């Protein structure tokens, strides 16, 4: 398959997933009126909004730890402010645009090459961050399925023994990863490429950061839920770690529509209008506000960079002349 056909297929899949999600969401809402959804959105308390903003700040700060760990993994140290900038902008754009490997990866390439990193090292950073996120989803899901199978069983309608087995399997994957980092010293060969493994200490930090990331990100949505939502945080955390990866894999920008459909469907005991009103607030706070800030930061960065480049180019021309 050519690259052009692959791109067309990717766009077609994203559009199909988006349309399917909207259709399912429309059916779930039933007779719910748009005015009711807006009413629940406007009824959010100031304390809920402030808590969501604070937790969003904490979530993006935790996300920057992915890059700090990845830089340690590739053996590079950058100024803290440079790493914070590159990581925040990459995640703010990739969370909203989707296609994280492309959008976040290209932005990291743009910023990190300017800081002296080679393309191979940047590729390793992107892969490292992806693996870390996957570890968080796997281990948190496994823990929730083992610790609270009753609450999740009532939501998904699946027998508790099956959920416990799935949870044990997920935890086994995470433990296996850590065991490999502890036992293997050389790289894993994949064709012409060799994949270096992090140390056990680095692997443990990956697990800790990724699990913290999942918990904090889920709490942003949780504090925005209506007061009559009859669900504890552990059960909602499981809903989040199921819905967020599916939305990410849907290829729909920001998982728009897909994430909302999953959460509304799984929050069966909560009013659909109230749930969707909370999710609209979540979209604004967790996606739109960071994206707007990141766009401003990139604009300032590019203006400063362009103002420094012309003299450098002129000096290069003089030396060549």
Least confident window among 161-165, 170-174, 269-273, 311-315: 311-315
CA distance 265 to 24: 9
Using pLDDT thresholds of 50, 70 and 90, give the confidence band for residue 28: very low
* Structural domain of 79: 17-22+34-304
CA distance 112 to 105: 10
CA distance 72 to 125: 10
Q: Which of 90-104, 158-172, 248-262 has the highest mean pLDDT?
A: 158-172
pLDDT digits (tens, 9 = 90+) for 56-79: 999 999 999 999 999 999 888 889
CA distance 296 to 166: 44
Is there a domain that residue 10 lies in?
Answer: no
Contacts of 95 (CB under 8 A, 6+ apart): 254, 286, 287, 290, 291
The pLDDT value given to residue 10: 45
Using pLDDT thresholds of 50, 70 and 90, give the confidence band for residue 209: very high
CA distance 210 to 174: 12
CA distance 104 to 253: 13
And the tokens for 237?
């955390």
The pLDDT value given to residue 166: 86
Is there a domain that residue 82 lies in?
Answer: yes
Number of structural domains (the chain) is 1
CA distance 279 to 1: 38
pLDDT digits (tens, 9 = 90+) for 29-45: 455 555 655 566 667 78
CA distance 51 to 65: 22
* Closest C-alpha among 188, 196, 138 to residue 168: 138
Tokens 């998982």 -> residue: 255
- Residue 224 contacts residue 45 (beta carbons within 8 Å): no
- Higher-pLDDT residue of 15 and 156 is 156
- Higher-pLDDT residue of 316 and 164 is 164
Is there a domain that residue 254 lies in?
Answer: yes
The pLDDT value given to residue 220: 93
The pLDDT value given to residue 272: 66
**Mean pLDDT over residues 81-110, rounded?**
81
* Closest C-alpha among 23, 18, 15, 32 to residue 272: 32
The pLDDT value given to residue 315: 43
The pLDDT value given to residue 254: 59
Percent of the chain with pLDDT over 70: 70
Tokens 């707007």 -> residue: 292
């Amino acid at each position: 398959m050519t690259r052009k056909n692959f791109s067309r297929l990717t766009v077609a899949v994203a559009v199909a997933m988006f349309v399917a999600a909207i259709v399912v969401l429309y059916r779930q809402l039933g007779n719910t009126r748009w005015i009711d959804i807006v009413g629940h959105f406007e009824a959010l308390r100031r304390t809920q909004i402030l808590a969501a903003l604070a937790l969003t700040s904490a979530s993006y700060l935790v996300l920057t730890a992915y890059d700090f760990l990845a830089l340690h993994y590739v053996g590079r140290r950058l100024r803290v402010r440079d790493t914070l900038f590159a990581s925040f902008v990459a995640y703010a754009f990739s969370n909203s645009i989707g296609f994280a490997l492309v959008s976040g990866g290209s932005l990291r390439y743009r910023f990190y090459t300017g800081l002296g990193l080679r393309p191979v090292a940047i590729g390793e950073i992107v892969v490292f961050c992806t693996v870390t996120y996957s570890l968080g989803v796997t281990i948190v899901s496994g823990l929730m399925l083992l610790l609270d199978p009753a609450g999740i069983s009532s939501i998904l309608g699946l027998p508790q023994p099956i959920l416990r087995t799935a949870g044990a399997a997920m935890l086994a994957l995470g433990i296996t990863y850590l065991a490999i980092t502890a036992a293997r010293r050389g790289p894993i060969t994949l064709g012409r490429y060799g994949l270096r493994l992090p140390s056990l200490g680095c692997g443990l930090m990956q697990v800790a950061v990724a699990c913290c990331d999942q918990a904090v990100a889920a709490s942003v949505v949780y504090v925005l839920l209506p007061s009559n939502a009859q669900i504890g945080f552990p059960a909602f955390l499981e809903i989040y770690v199921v819905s967020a990866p599916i939305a990410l894999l849907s290829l729909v920008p920001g998982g728009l529509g897909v994430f909302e459909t999953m959460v509304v469907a799984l929050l069966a005991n909560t009013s659909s209008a109230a749930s969707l009103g909370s999710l609209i607030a979540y979209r604004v706070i967790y996606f739109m506000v960071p994206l707007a800030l990141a766009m401003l930061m990139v604009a300032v960065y590019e203006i400063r960079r362009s103002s420094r480049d012309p003299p450098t180019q002129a000096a290069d021309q003089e030396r060549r002349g």
